[in-house]
């Protein structure tokens, strides 16, 4: 699935309400269309005072529905037809008023009637004054809708249209798009059914003494995204994880380890079972030569810590690979492509996912990544900034291509 057609054939119903951010919906419609989606727009009466329906009609190439009793454009009852046609229902921007109505079962216009009639996942991107957003009533309405499975794209913090600084700005169009893509890909078919996949995630911790260790900044987010997406797409996943603060993924067997040696052992124990291994973990290359039995005292001004090489897990797997698929990551700060290519050959990999960890929005700790995938022939495909969930899907699609 390329980034260009990621929403091909998907029906997105977009509700626009009377927030000053309504104009941003034009960009959202245009971006959705570029990704291949069919977009049907429903506008509340208030929103038509802020942005002309003709703009959205032109961008979406579809009739824009505004009122319950508009001139009928087809034989179907509009709110029922749009509700059932939707693969995903998005309300952006969503005012406190419309959130309150939906949370309390009020359906008094085309948008609230249609959203109540839909069985599609609903994503709401609020935009309003900070006090309105923080108002207990709004928060209670949001929590109520969340508890029913409605998804929210958090508003951003900044100077609001009313001149006040605070939380309430409509989220970036990129964040709304990511939410839509994630939601749609969650409900797609189980295309990885039957695949046995080992994913590693997080850092390793190499002990110095009973209370100290060497580690790195990996949060585990990239590896957990891979495990979660693979599981959702039907694969049997074994996640071997270094220490992270992430929640376990329901349905994914997780083995927690601390050191590189423990990670290697767990992978070897399960290697025969696996069709593919993805090493997203940031494994320490070195560990202290000796681990002190007791906490090291601060008696000396300088102490020397001698480090020895850890086993290279991927290199070892490369030697016993057979017809299993091995995917490495390359976390580089310079010469990304060259270093990644060298790693493919040295470790006998099928492909490597390179991330330049010095780029903003890429690599350690963040929710997004900027990846390039390099195959065995050395061909590089570069991808734009995307969420780690989306990056996971791109990587899983490429594994599927190799398995064909
Ligand atoms: O966890 P996050 O905060 O979400 O961050 C994600 C990430 C930056 C950790 C991830 O995207 C990533 O790049 N993971 C690999 C980090 C790394 O160790 O890169 P490397 O270039 O040092 O190693 C290359 C490959 O060899 C990696 O697949 C690594 O898992 C593997 N390796 C490394 C050392 C070792 N002793 N054994 C290994 O198998």
pLDDT tens readout for residues 300-346: 999 999 999 999 999 999 999 999 999 999 998 888 888 888 999 99
| Probe target for ligand 1 pocket from 246, 329, 357, with the most ligand atoms within 8 Å of CB | 329
| Residue 398 alpha carbon to ligand 1 centre in Å | 19
| Residue 329 alpha carbon to ligand 1 centre in Å | 5
Domain contains 70: yes
Q: Which residue in 107, 75, 89, 214 sits closest to 151, CA to CA?
A: 89
> How confident is the model over 202-226, as a mean pLDDT?
97
* Whether residue 260 is found in the same domain as residue 398: yes
Is residue 73 pLDDT above 60, yes or no?
no
What CATH number is associated with residue 17?
3.40.50.1950
Rounded CA-CA distance 315/212 in Å is 28
pLDDT of residue 222: 97
Give the residue numbers spanning the domain of 65. 11-185
| Residue 235 alpha carbon to ligand 1 centre in Å | 22
Percentage above 70 pLDDT, the chain: 95
Domain end position, chosen among 164, 185, 206: 185
| Residue 143 alpha carbon to ligand 1 centre in Å | 37
Residue 196 forms beta bridges with which residues?
236
> Residue 4: pLDDT band by 50, 70, 90 thresholds?
low
DSSP string covering 37-57:
-EEEEEE-TGGGGTS-HHHHH
Which two structure tokens, joined as six digits, stand for 160? 């609001």
Residues 6+ apart with CB under 8 A from 99: 124, 126, 138, 141, 142, 145
Q: Which residue, judged by its Cα, is nearest atom 5 of ligand 1?
A: 364
pLDDT tens readout for residues 185-196: 665 568 899 999
pLDDT of residue 77: 52
Percentage above 90 pLDDT, the chain: 74
Query: Which atom from ligand 1 is nearest to the alpha carbon of 216?
Result: 9
* Mean pLDDT score of the chain: 91
Least confident residue range of 97-101, 233-237, 245-249: 245-249
* Whether residue 234 is found in the same domain as residue 380: yes
Domain contains 125: yes
Rounded CA-CA distance 370/382 in Å is 8
For residues 391 and 369, is the Cβ–Cβ distance under 8 A?
Answer: yes
| Probe target for ligand 1 pocket from 282, 327, 395, with the most ligand atoms within 8 Å of CB | 282
pLDDT of residue 242: 98
* Whether residue 236 is found in the same domain as residue 159: no
What CATH number is associated with residue 375?
3.40.50.10300
| Probe target for ligand 1 pocket from 271, 331, 370, with the most ligand atoms within 8 Å of CB | 331
Is residue 2 pLDDT above 70, yes or no?
no
Domain end position, chosen among 151, 185, 219: 185
| Residue 172 alpha carbon to ligand 1 centre in Å | 30
* Whether residue 259 is found in the same domain as residue 159: no
Residues 6+ apart with CB under 8 A from 269: none
> How confident is the model over 265-279, as a mean pLDDT?
98
Domain contains 190: no
Strand (E) or helix (H) holding 315: helix 313-319
For residues 387 and 368, is the Cβ–Cβ distance under 8 A?
Answer: yes
Domain end position, chosen among 136, 160, 185: 185
pLDDT of residue 160: 79
Residues 6+ apart with CB under 8 A from 254: 238, 239, 240, 241, 248
Please count the structural domains in the chain. Answer: 2
Residue tagged active-site, from 4, 159, 162, 187: 162
Strand (E) or helix (H) holding 110: helix 110-117
User: Could you tell me the sign of the dihedral formed by the alpha carbons of 215, 217, 219, 222, in that order?
Assistant: negative
- How far, in Å, are 52, 99, 123, 131, 255 from residue 152 at the CA level? 26, 11, 6, 18, 31
- How far, in Å, are 103, 112, 158, 262 from residue 10 at the CA level? 26, 22, 33, 44
Q: Which residue, judged by its Cα, is nearest atom 23 of ligand 1?
A: 330
Ligand 1 neighbours (beta carbon < 6 A): 202, 218-222, 260, 279-283, 285, 310, 312-314, 328-331, 343, 355, 357, 363-365
* Whether residue 174 is found in the same domain as residue 257: no
For the chain, state the CA radius of gyration: 25
Residues 6+ apart with CB under 8 A from 133: 96, 126, 139, 155, 166, 167, 168
* Whether residue 17 is found in the same domain as residue 44: yes
pLDDT tens readout for residues 392-403: 999 999 999 998
Q: How many CB atoms lie within 10 A of CB 131?
A: 14
Which two structure tokens, joined as six digits, stand for 319? 């030697």
Is residue 253 pLDDT above 90, yes or no?
yes
* Whether residue 307 is found in the same domain as residue 360: yes
| Residue 383 alpha carbon to ligand 1 centre in Å | 19
Which two structure tokens, joined as six digits, stand for 332? 């580089």
Query: Which atom from ligand 1 is nearest to the alpha carbon of 317?
Result: 39
Residue 272 forms beta bridges with which residues?
none
Query: Which atom from ligand 1 is nearest to the alpha carbon of 260?
Result: 36
DSSP string covering 54-71:
HHHHHHHTSPPB--TTSP
pLDDT tens readout for residues 114-154: 999 998 889 999 999 999 999 999 999 998 888 777 889 99
* Whether residue 290 is found in the same domain as residue 239: yes
Establish whether 260 is a catalytic residue: no
pLDDT of residue 280: 98
pLDDT of residue 190: 80
98-118 as b/e, with b when 16 or more CB fall inside 10 Å? bbbbbbeeebebbbbbbbebb
pLDDT tens readout for residues 8-43: 889 999 999 999 999 999 999 999 999 999 999 999
pLDDT of residue 11: 94
* Whether residue 176 is found in the same domain as residue 205: no
Domain contains 348: yes
Peptide bond into 10 cis (omega under 30): no
């Amino acid at each position: 699935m390329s980034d260009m057609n990621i929403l091909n054939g998907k029906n997105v119903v977009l509700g626009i309400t009377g927030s000053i951010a309504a104009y941003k919906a034009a960009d959202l419609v245009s971006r959705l269309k570029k990704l291949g989606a069919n977009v049907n727009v429903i506008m509340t009466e208030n929103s038509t005072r802020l942005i002309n329906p003709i703009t959205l009609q032109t961008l979406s190439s579809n009739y824009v529905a505004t009122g319950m009793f508009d001139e009928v454009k087809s034989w179907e009852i509009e709110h029922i037809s749009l509700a059932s046609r939707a693969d995903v229902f998005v309300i952006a921007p969503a005012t406190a008023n419309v959130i309150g109505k939906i949370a309390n079962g009020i359906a008094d216009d085309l948008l609230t009637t249609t959203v109540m009639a839909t069985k599609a996942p609903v994503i709401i991107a609020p935009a309003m004054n900070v006090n309105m957003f923080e108002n207990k009533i709004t928060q209670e309405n949001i929590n109520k809708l969340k508890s029913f499975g409605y998804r929210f794209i958090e508003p951003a913090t900044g100077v609001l249209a009313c001149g006040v600084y605070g939380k309430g700005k409509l989220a970036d169009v990129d964040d709304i798009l990511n939410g839509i893509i994630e939601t749609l890909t969650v409900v797609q078919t189980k295309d990885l059914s039957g695949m046995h996949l080992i994913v590693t995630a997080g850092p390793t911790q190499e002990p110095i003494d009973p209370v100290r260790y060497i580690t790195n900044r990996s949060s585990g987010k990239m590896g957990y995204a891979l495990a979660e997406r693979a599981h959702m797409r039907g694969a049997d996943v074994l996640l071997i994880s270094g220490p992270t603060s992430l929640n376990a993924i329901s349905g994914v067997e997780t083995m927690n380890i601390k050191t590189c040696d423990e990670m290697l052992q767990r992978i070897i124990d399960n290697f025969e079972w696996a069709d593919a291994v993805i090493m997203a973990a940031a494994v320490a290359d070195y560990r202290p030569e000796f681990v002190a039995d007791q906490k090291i005292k601060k008696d000396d001004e300088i102490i020397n810590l001698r480090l020895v090489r850890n086993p290279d897990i991927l290199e070892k797997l490369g030697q016993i690979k057979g017809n299993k698929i091995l995917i490495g990551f390359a976390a580089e700060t310079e010469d990304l492509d060259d270093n990644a290519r060298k790693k493919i050959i040295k470790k006998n990999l099928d492909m490597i996912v390179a991330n330049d960890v010095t780029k903003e929005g890429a690599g350690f700790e963040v929710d997004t990544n900027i990846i390039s995938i390099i195959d065995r022939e050395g061909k590089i495909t570069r991808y734009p900034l995307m969420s780690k969930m989306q990056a996971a899907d791109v990587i899983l699609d490429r594994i599927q291509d190799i398995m064909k």
